[in-house]
Amino acid sequence: MSSYTEKSVTVLGLGPMGRSLAGAFLDAGLQTTVWNRTPGRDWELVQRGAVSARSVEEAVAASGLTVVCVVNYDASDAILRRDAVTDALKGRTVVNLTADTPDRARDTADWAAKHGVRYLDGAIMTPITTIGTPQAVLIHSGPTELYAEHQPVLDALGGTHTHLGEEIGRAAAYDIALLDIFWTAIAGYAHALAVAKVEGVTARELAPFAKGIATILPPIFEEAAEEMDHGSFSGEGNPITSTVSSMAHIVHTSEAHGIDAGVMRAAEGLARRAIGLGHGTDGFMRVAEVLGRR
């Protein structure tokens, strides 16, 4: 008879996100076992009822489901791919919510299959403050039946869970693409604040207008998605030639104040590349098609 129950879960990795995951499982009444490479991070969770495992082997043996959330797949490989741990995981399920690349997810799935470990990959798309609340967003990929089996426990993390399909790398692919949007936007905002400051505009003064820019993006995202999927890049409202002119103004103003404009120079370079290929009358999303050419 198994020593674990369907209402048990193990969490490996107790950084800020890992602690939030474990806390949500505890709040849902699940028997939660925790382990972290650095001792001491489980104190508060133990006070709330978590079981502190002395080793990874002990942690994974305590539950049919192990959730991993560490810094990257180098770290998760170092934890999971030791003989004693691999043996303890046989027949059990690992849900890896560690962020890394699609290829690393596929490699880990191959390792799991060779060693009798059931494997799901996933990603957390919202901050630690959302875990256990309706605002959490998590994405998953891997065998449909395996996901359905463990969904009731994963639902304890709150919010929206989306199974993206059986191809194990899909969750990581979504994660990479969405983080690309986020960090490019945040880098742009940081640069904008720097330029505004040297022109005598405070961040607080600019913020309401920056929020206005953010509100026009969702319909642009939808329109751009249609263009990309259908290969039609209309520049009727704003051709790339006009876009390049705006970008050049940003570069000039930045560099006149000694502010590095490397990010915008890169974007301008991509736009000029598209123009050079004969797409000057197209819209800016033609750049995505040009980037994807092999």
The CATH number assigned to the domain holding 226 equals: 1.10.1040.10
Which of 167, 189, 217 is a domain's end point? 167
Q: Is residue 134 part of a domain?
A: yes
Check residue 294 and give its pLDDT.
79
Q: Is residue 195 part of a domain?
A: no
pLDDT digits (tens, 9 = 90+) for 197-212: 999 999 999 999 999 9
229: its two tokens: 């999927």
Query: For residue 279, what are the domain limits?
Result: 202-291
Q: Is residue 80 part of a domain?
A: yes
Q: Helices in 115-201 by DSSP H: which ranges?
A: 144-154, 170-198
Q: Name every residue whose Cβ is closer than 8 Å to that of residue 10 and which is 6 or more positions away in sequence.
A: 32, 33, 34, 35, 53, 59, 60, 62, 63, 65, 66, 67
- CA–CA dist 252, 198 (Å, integer): 13
| Residue 126 host element (H or E) | none
What are residue 143's phi and psi, to 5 degrees? -55, 130
pLDDT digits (tens, 9 = 90+) for 256-269: 999 999 999 999 99
How many CB atoms neighbour CB 2 within 10 A? Answer: 11
Q: Name every residue whose Cβ is closer than 8 Å to that of residue 254 and which is 6 or more positions away in sequence.
A: 191, 194, 195, 260, 261, 264
The reply to whether 282 and 143 lie within a common domain is no
Q: Assess contact for 49 and 24: CB atoms under 8 A.
A: no
CATH number of the domain that residue 19 is part of: 3.40.50.720
Number of structural domains found in the chain? 2
Q: Is residue 174 part of a domain?
A: no
The reply to whether 224 and 282 lie within a common domain is yes
Q: Is residue 19 part of a domain?
A: yes
Q: Sign of the CA dihedral 120, 171, 122, 73?
A: positive
Check residue 5 and give its pLDDT.
52
Mean pLDDT score across all residues of the chain: 96
The reply to whether 144 and 207 lie within a common domain is no
Q: What is the pTM of this model?
A: 0.93
Q: Is residue 277 part of a domain?
A: yes
Check residue 1 and give its pLDDT.
31
The reply to whether 25 and 126 lie within a common domain is yes
Q: Is residue 255 part of a domain?
A: yes
pLDDT digits (tens, 9 = 90+) for 9-46: 999 999 999 999 999 999 999 999 999 999 899 999 99
The reply to whether 119 and 16 lie within a common domain is yes
Q: Is residue 188 part of a domain?
A: no
Give the torsion through C-alpha atoms of 25, 29, 32, 36, to 10 deg.
40
The reply to whether 38 and 141 lie within a common domain is yes
Only one residue has tokens 């607080």, namely 204
pLDDT digits (tens, 9 = 90+) for 41-88: 999 999 999 999 999 999 999 999 999 999 999 999 999 999 999 999
274: its two tokens: 């598209």
* Across 126-131, average pLDDT: 98
Flag whether pLDDT at 3 surpasses 70: no
Cα atoms in the 13 Å half-sphere on the side-chain side of 25: 32
The reply to whether 86 and 157 lie within a common domain is yes
The reply to whether 84 and 226 lie within a common domain is no
- CA–CA dist 74, 237 (Å, integer): 46
The reply to whether 162 and 212 lie within a common domain is no
